[in-house]
A and B are shown apart, each in its own frame.
Chain A
Amino acid sequence: MEKATEQAKTPLMRLKGINMVFKKPGALFADKNIHVLKDIDLEIGEKEIVALVGESGCGKTTLGKIITGLYRPTSGEVYFEGERVSGTFDKKISSYNQVQFIQQDSYAALNPVRTIYQSLYAPIKTHNRKWSRARIDERIEELMGLIGLLPSAQFLSKYPHQLSGGQRQRILMARAISLEPKLIVADEPVSMIDVSLRLSLLNLMKELNEKLDMSFVYISHDLSTTRYIAHSGRVAVMYLGEIVEVGKIGDVIASPRHPYTRALLQAVPIPDPDFKGNDELPLKSMQLGSLENRGEGCSFFDRCLYADDACRKKFGPVKTETAEVLCCGLDRVPTAPVFEKIIQTEENS
């Protein structure tokens, strides 16, 4: 019963067959095509947290910008609440501000000559022309409470450089939620933040997700914080512009299936000196593949221990019991868990 209704519901956002190709001027001959995203299908549900993880350069930020409408994909379709928005995408999203992007670099994202108050005031005013100053001030006060920067007067009169990195990230968060978006794409929101402050930012996002029903796309290369924030959500593991495995995060960590996911998980350091892992990663090579002139077959081919000739041909994702995996040789990939023991909490079971 429940399954049926769930399926009938349109996802908040749906990406279908997204490709992104950048042109790089060639030195002598024709321009080079850099195929940064390849055939991406992804759905983001209402109130859902979806994490994008993968090595540097795998296309996380590019995908995040397509989701937010900051980039138009080279090909593919984007649906927001069931409506096709590619083409008119930029307009629809930015005029309703239902999808907000939080940039990785909090310093670059804030205007250095504007006070925090001015940076928060402007977007609210633009989108609520009729609001009085007092009404906007009230909203700003409410936002400052939500992000835990009180008393607000102390922060609002400051300029970005007078705040710490963690405080600036909170201000970006406040600005993103000020327009009550349905979806926030947060690009590495905590990677530059000190450990002692990281957790409170992650908690804030969890709270916004639970209390205000906002969906999140959490972009990160750090699987530990990803597990923390998206414990009941899904994770999409990216490799060279493709989603190679997507599933509930608990399932992916407990029983990773794609050979790349398996190597990635095994490389994650565990904060326990008694943890005995195997440092020898299941990889054939350390060299990342190229985005230029990519063939039909598997992007992971050169590094994969389980590759064979079939992998050079085109193939689509395979559905396993718990995930969708882009690998044509799953019968050769070990099924043993990477971690012997994972402490499940009631939340993430």
Chain B
Amino acid sequence: MQTNRDNIAVFSHVSIDYPLKKYTLRAVTDITFELKRGAITALVGESGSGKTTLASSLIRCISEPGRVAEGEITFYGKDGEERLDLLPDPKMRAFRWSKVSMVFQAAQSALNPVLTVREQFTETLEAHGEKLSKEEREAKFSDLLGYVKLDAERVLASYPHELSGGMKQRVMIAFALLLDPELIILDEPTTALDVITQNYIFTLLKQINREKGISMLLMTHDISVVAKFADYVGVMYGGRLMEYGDVRTVFHRRRHPYTAGLIGATPSIIGDISEMKPIEGSPPDLLHLPKGCIFAPRCPRCSDVCLTEEPPMREYGDGSKGKCYFFGEADDGKGN
């Protein structure tokens, strides 16, 4: 039995809309899942599947004119329970960064180009009413930047354009740690960085997660990164959560046809590459979704029932669940 002691946050039937002039775009549809306390949960999905939209809803940073249209988002912090979708704006401002922080997809643009790193760090501390002496502050900054293996003295005095992409990304991670949050959201934190820097940053994040016990939500399109760093994973497609479970179950059992397709289309540097297959067809157009299962037009397992109405979320019993009429059917139990 799950209790909210185990979870740091829970999404319950969350839908998110972008009301545009001519129509309303539903970017996230009826998503329910939990973020386990102390764990790294990844949401993997292709471009446009709704990762950034969903992640930003936690701290009310959805890009305009996006709004949570339905559902509940609850945070279970040290100071008690908080309904994030109902939190008044001023309370949300205090909450953001101190309880939940976010490393944005384009870290470059998240840093203010006319402030040095020291000025940005100081500004955020002051905005949250942290009253530290100058010495305490400097010690804290050095600590954090040392943690992400940066030369604190040099970096604190630098403007963003004086830092490389990998350095900026590490500054953003230090920034996210500034107010000792309980949950960090990482939106594609290493896209556009080379594999060596990527490996380094994820190793560091995992160390932060394990040592400080900070929960993490990682949004990515990279299946291999999920396998290497996450504990739990959700698979998104066309704004829906298609599958959710612990990483080993999701990878080895291949209970959902879309997940199986994604894994089967990801070449590995050491695995068998003779049997790789692309997923035929193209990603869904959110404004013209097919009737029934939205993956049906590309699904190798599709049958008549899939074209009738959207499949319900089916639970498997071991904590894994999936949106498919045949979820787990092909699972012979030996995949592990």
Contacting residues of chain A (195-217) with chain B, CB-CB under 8 angstroms = 195-200, 203
Q: Which of A264, A339, A346 is the one whose CB lies under 8 Å from B195?
A: A264
Interface centre among A167, A253, A273 (most CB of B within 10 A): A273
State whether the Cβ of A265 lies closer than 8 Å to any Cβ in chain B.
Answer: yes
Q: Considering the complex, give the chain A residue whose CB is closest to the CB of B266.
A: A271
Q: Which of A196, A263, A273 is the one whose CB lies under 8 Å from B196?
A: A263
Contacting residues of chain B (187-209) with chain A, CB-CB under 8 angstroms = 192-200, 203
Chain B residues with Cβ below 8 Å from A198 are: 265, 278
Supposing A199-B278, A264-B195, A275-B227 touch, asked if A270 and B269 sit within 8 A by C-beta, the answer is yes
Q: Are B278 and A346 in contact, with the CB atoms below 8 A? A: no
Instruction: Name the prevailing secondary structure of the A interface residues.
Output: loop
Shortest beta-carbon distance from B39 to chain A in Å? 13
A167 to B283, CA, bound (A): 11
> Which of the candidate stretches B28-36, B93-101, B216-224, B314-322 sits at the interface with the other chain?
B216-224
- The contact size tier of chain A is 35 or more
Q: Considering the complex, give the chain A residue whose CB is closest to the CB of B261.
A: A196
Contacting residues of chain A (9-55) with chain B, CB-CB under 8 angstroms = 55
State whether the Cβ of A296 lies closer than 8 Å to any Cβ in chain B.
Answer: no
A267 to B283, CA, bound (A): 30
A253 to B270, CA, bound (A): 8
Chain A residues with Cβ below 8 Å from B203 are: 279
A140 to B276, CA, bound (A): 29
A29 to B172, CA, bound (A): 35
Contacting residues of chain A (84-121) with chain B, CB-CB under 8 angstroms = none
State whether the Cβ of B210 lies closer than 8 Å to any Cβ in chain A.
Answer: no
Shortest beta-carbon distance from B193 to chain A in Å? 8
Supposing A164-B283, A199-B278, A271-B223 touch, asked if A224 and B196 sit within 8 A by C-beta, the answer is no
Supposing A223-B195, A286-B197 touch, asked if A270 and B228 sit within 8 A by C-beta, the answer is yes
Contacting residues of chain B (137-187) with chain A, CB-CB under 8 angstroms = 149, 164-166
A199 to B276, CA, bound (A): 8
Supposing A221-B195, A228-B273, A269-B227 touch, asked if A194 and B283 sit within 8 A by C-beta, the answer is yes
Instruction: Name the prevailing secondary structure of the B interface residues.
Output: loop
Interface centre among B165, B200, B225 (most CB of A within 10 A): B200
Q: Considering the complex, give the chain B residue whose CB is closest to the CB of A277.
A: B228
A268 to B267, CA, bound (A): 12
Interface centre among A164, A286, A345 (most CB of B within 10 A): A286
Q: B287-305: contact bitstring with A at CB < 8 Å (1 yes, 0 no)? A: 0000000000010000000
Shortest beta-carbon distance from A148 to chain B in Å? 10
Q: Which of A263, A283, A286, A343 is the one whose CB lies under 8 Å from B271?
A: A343
Chain A residues with Cβ below 8 Å from B248 are: 273-274
A243 to B287, CA, bound (A): 48
Supposing A56-B165, A270-B268 touch, asked if A196 and B227 sit within 8 A by C-beta, the answer is no
State whether the Cβ of A227 lies closer than 8 Å to any Cβ in chain B.
Answer: yes
State whether the Cβ of B251 lies closer than 8 Å to any Cβ in chain A.
Answer: yes
Q: Which of B195, B251, B262 is the one whose CB lies under 8 Å from A196?
A: B262
Shortest beta-carbon distance from A105 to chain B in Å? 13
Q: Are B269 and A268 in contact, with the CB atoms below 8 A? A: yes
Q: Are A270 and B272 in contact, with the CB atoms below 8 A? A: no
A194 to B284, CA, bound (A): 12
State whether the Cβ of B2 lies closer than 8 Å to any Cβ in chain A.
Answer: no
State whether the Cβ of A288 lies closer than 8 Å to any Cβ in chain B.
Answer: yes
Contacting residues of chain A (231-282) with chain B, CB-CB under 8 angstroms = 231, 253, 263-275, 277, 279, 281
A228 to B270, CA, bound (A): 10
Q: Which of A194, A227, A265 is the one whose CB lies under 8 Å from B273?
A: A227
A342 to B272, CA, bound (A): 8
Q: A324-349: contact bitstring with B at CB < 8 Å (1 yes, 0 no)? A: 00000000000000010111011110
Interface centre among B149, B196, B262 (most CB of A within 10 A): B196
Q: Are A195 and B251 in contact, with the CB atoms below 8 A? A: no
State whether the Cβ of A225 lies closer than 8 Å to any Cβ in chain B.
Answer: yes
Q: Are B195 and A268 in contact, with the CB atoms below 8 A? A: yes
Q: Considering the complex, give the chain A residue whose CB is closest to the CB of B44.
A: A195
Q: Are A279 and B199 in contact, with the CB atoms below 8 A? A: yes
A281 to B149, CA, bound (A): 15
Chain B residues with Cβ below 8 Å from A199 are: 265, 267, 276-278
Q: Considering the complex, give the chain B residue whose CB is closest to the CB of A202.
A: B267
A264 to B194, CA, bound (A): 9
Shortest beta-carbon distance from B223 to chain A in Å? 5
Shortest beta-carbon distance from A231 to chain B in Å? 7
Chain A residues with Cβ below 8 Å from B279 are: 196-197
Chain B residues with Cβ below 8 Å from A266 are: 199
Q: B242-282: contact bitstring with A at CB < 8 Å (1 yes, 0 no)? A: 00000110011000000001110111111111101111101
Chain B residues with Cβ below 8 Å from A223 are: 195, 269
Q: B31-61: contact bitstring with A at CB < 8 Å (1 yes, 0 no)? A: 0000000000000001100000000000000
Q: Considering the complex, give the chain A residue whose CB is closest to the CB of B271.
A: A343
Q: Are B196 and A271 in contact, with the CB atoms below 8 A? A: no
Q: Are A269 and B228 in contact, with the CB atoms below 8 A? A: yes
Chain A residues with Cβ below 8 Å from B149 are: 286
Chain A residues with Cβ below 8 Å from B225 are: 269
Chain B residues with Cβ below 8 Å from A194 are: 46-47, 221, 283
Shortest beta-carbon distance from B242 to chain A in Å? 13
Chain B residues with Cβ below 8 Å from A342 are: 269-270
Chain A residues with Cβ below 8 Å from B283 are: 164, 194, 196-197
Q: Are A227 and B269 in contact, with the CB atoms below 8 A? A: yes
A164 to B284, CA, bound (A): 11
**Other CB < 8 Å A-B pairs besides A266-B199, A281-B199, A343-B271, 14 of them?**
A55-B194, A196-B46, A196-B278, A200-B278, A221-B195, A224-B267, A264-B196, A268-B269, A271-B223, A275-B228, A277-B228, A286-B196, A339-B270, A348-B273
Name 27 A/B residue pairs within 8 A (Cβ), A-sorted. A56-B192, A56-B194, A165-B47, A167-B282, A194-B46, A194-B47, A195-B266, A196-B283, A197-B282, A199-B265, A200-B280, A221-B195, A223-B269, A227-B273, A264-B195, A265-B269, A268-B269, A270-B227, A270-B269, A272-B268, A273-B227, A281-B200, A286-B149, A339-B270, A343-B270, A343-B271, A346-B274
